[in-house]
Amino acid sequence: MVDYRDIENSVKALGLCLRGGFVDEDKTYILIGNTGSDIWKEFGPAYDDWVEPNPLDEWTKRHIDPIAADFGAEALYPFIGPPFMPFQRWAMKAEAVFPSPIGPLIHPEYGLWHAYRAALVFEEPVSGLPLREEIASPCIACELKPCLVSCPVDAFVEGAFKFQKCLDHLNKKLEGSCMHNGCLARRACPIGAEYRYHREHARFHMDKFLRIDFG
């Protein structure tokens, strides 16, 4: 039987970590992701070697596919589709994460500074699978909601994300702005502040956000 800790050890060298798991219809799902900028220490130096537009996706798949094969699992990715896999729903089943007022899932320790990169699907049980912690969202006790008032262009209004406002601001590429340091609304959240992405890591993701085709 495959052990959860063995899978965890296999992804550590990549700056990745396991993000819990769950059982559904006799299959075991193990989520793989990153917290903070540990992944950047491994991916960052290789960034220039990858062809645009999705070097992180290619890097992830290149490393996770052989790990999945070694453990006899199927690898699924949030960036492959359609159909796209319901990673946010899976994440909420696997560990204590919750929708935040600005959209991304918030973790009680890592705050908004984490992501899900892949899932391994096993036909058999996985030993050592951690139980999901039953706690409340940290946003419930947050009265000031600094994430909602820190956006320089008020892109988060009435529960909606005004993406064009955000894009217009990012395209100005102002020094010290969201483009260079990461989303100011995201950085305003007090939860997990020590896990905030390093400047280069944050800049990478903002650059990729600018390239999204919102139709």
In degrees, to the nearest 5, what angle opens at C-alpha 108 toward C-alphas 147 and 57? 80
Give the best-scoring range by mean pLDDT among 38-52, 134-148, 169-183: 134-148
Whether the predicted pLDDT of 49 surpasses 90? no
* Of 2-16, 64-78, 157-171, 182-196, minimum mean pLDDT range: 157-171
Residue 52's pLDDT is 66
Whether the predicted pLDDT of 138 surpasses 80? yes
Q: Length of the chain in residues, anyone?
A: 215
For residue 177, name the pLDDT band (cuts at 50, 70, 90): confident
What percentage of the chain has pLDDT greater than the value 90?
Answer: 80
CB atoms within 10 A of CB 191: 19
Indicate if the alpha-carbon torsion angle 48, 49, 55, 56 is positive or negative: negative
User: Which is nearest to 72 in space by CA: 156, 10, 12?
Assistant: 10
Element housing 21 (H / E): strand 17-24
Q: Maximum distance among all alpha carbons in the chain?
A: 53
**Tokens (6 digits) for 102:** 């600005």
Residue 208's pLDDT is 86
Buried b or exposed e, range 101-128, using 16+ CB within 10 angstroms: bbbbbbbbebbbbbbbbbbbbbeeebee
Phi/psi for 115 (5° steps) reads: -160, 165
Distance CA 13, CA 112 (A): 23
Whether the predicted pLDDT of 122 surpasses 80? yes
Residue 57's pLDDT is 94
Distance CA 61, CA 121 (A): 15
* Of 44-48, 83-87, 148-152, 165-169, minimum mean pLDDT range: 44-48
* 2-25 residue pLDDT tens: 999 999 999 999 999 999 999 999
